Structure formats: C-alpha cells, structure tokens
Amino acid sequence: MKEYPPIHRIENAVCHECGKPASLTHDPTEIPGKGEEEGFIYSRPILQCTDPACGEEFVAPEDAKELHDALCLHGGLLLPEEIKEIREEYGRRNEPSGKISQKNFAERIGFGRSTIARYEARLQVQNKASDILLRACRDLPGFDDLVAASFAKDQLKKQAKVQETGPMAKAFRQQNGGQSKVTSSRANIFDLTASRQWAA
C-alpha cells in the first residue's frame, strides 16, 4: 500500500453528522479500494467524532482535494487538471471557437451531461473505463473522427425519434389505425397532406 505524507491540520472541528466536537486523528487510515483493487494508507488527517455513539469519520474540507487526488494517483487515473486540459485541447482541435464546454464535451464522447463537470470539480473519481476513454481522446490518432461519426449518428437517431413521436406522427397514427412505424415515403406524403389540412 502506498503511503502519503500528512500535509494539513485543523482545529475546532465539528462533526457534520451530530454537530459535536470532532478530534483529529494522526493515525494512518486505510482507504479501501474498489472491487478487487487494493486499498491504500491515507496519512493525511482524518476527523473523528468524539461522541462514541456517533463515531463518524470524515475528511476536513481543506483536505478533500488532497484525498481526491490521492485516490486518482493510487488508481493510476487522470487528475482533474489533466481532464480539463484534455477537454480544452479537444475544443482547440475541433471547435470553430477553439473552446468546448464541459457539458458539450461530455455529450460528444458519450458521457452524461454533468460527468465532466463532476470530474473537474473533484466531486467524483472516474472509473477505469472512463479514464481509458479520456486518455484515448488525448493520445489516440483518429479518435476525433470516430467521435464525430458516432455523434452524428446519435443526432440522426434523435431526429428520427422526434419525427416518429412528434405531433405529425401522432396525427398519422390516428389516421392509420394506430400504426406507430412511419416509412419515409409515407411520412413525406402525410407531411404534405397534413400541411394542406392545417393551412386550410
């Protein structure tokens, strides 16, 4: 297990669970790993509630950044600053403005909308699969083309879904016995007919 040196101390701490005083423990604390991953010794300060009935252990806000980075380093994962740089470099390569938001970058590479924001703000440690994908964005030649093709395909699927579930498609189903699948040729005919009816 890798051991990290203590770098911070805090006084007059209060337990965030019960509100009673919390004491600082200088004893190294083992942080468990995920799944089969080995844990590691965290030597930065850990706060413990002085009430035995509570016994809550937590990290001081001043140490949250260090704990997050220690978890990343232990797991061989990208640090938040590295993820931000990958996003910014992707924007410089692919966007006319040279910039891309956290939300748009996350959607472009197939993550949830707020995922990149959580990674960069140290609110969540990425898993191995996400880390590999981010590294591919930085290091793999041709990655941008793959992302562009996949994103374009997803956009077409979304447009097709909107066309099939929109008001015109609903009207089509009403006129055709509840049929839910609209072929392109029949949809075009219906679009023209419906437009004439609504314009009348």
Give the pLDDT confidence of 57-113 residue by residue, as tens digits: 777 666 778 888 888 988 899 999 999 999 999 999 999 999 999 999 999 999 999
Confidence tier at 199 by pLDDT (50, 70, 90) = very low
Q: Identify whether 135 is part of a domain.
A: yes
Q: Can you list the positions of beta strands (E) in the chain? A: 3-4, 13-14, 21-25, 29-31, 40-42, 46-49, 57-58
Q: Identify whether 96 is part of a domain.
A: yes
Calculated CA dihedral for residues 162, 164, 167, 168, nearest 10 degrees: 120
Q: Which two tokens stand for residue 163?
A: 């066309």
Q: Identify whether 187 is part of a domain.
A: no
Q: Identify whether 194 is part of a domain.
A: no
Identify any residues that bridge with 49 across adjacent strands, giving them in sequence order: 22
Q: Identify whether 181 is part of a domain.
A: no
Q: Identify whether 129 is part of a domain.
A: yes
Length of the chain, in residues: 200
Tell me the per-residue pLDDT of 12-28, one tens digit each, with 9 for 90 and over: 778 878 888 887 776 66
Per the model's pLDDT, the better-predicted residue between 74 and 118 turns out to be 118
Q: Are residues 21 and 52 in the same domain?
A: yes
Percent of the chain with pLDDT over 70: 64
Q: Identify whether 168 is part of a domain.
A: no
Q: Are residues 94 and 136 in the same domain?
A: yes
Q: Are residues 54 and 92 in the same domain?
A: no
Q: Identify whether 126 is part of a domain.
A: yes
Q: Are residues 87 and 140 in the same domain?
A: yes
Residue 90: which domain range?
A: 80-149
The number of distinct structural domains making up the chain is 2
Q: Are residues 145 and 115 in the same domain?
A: yes
3-state secondary structure 30-65: EECCCCCCCCEEECCCEEEECCCCCCCEECCHHHHH
Beta-strand relationship, 29-31 and 46-49: unpaired
Summary mean pLDDT of the chain: 76
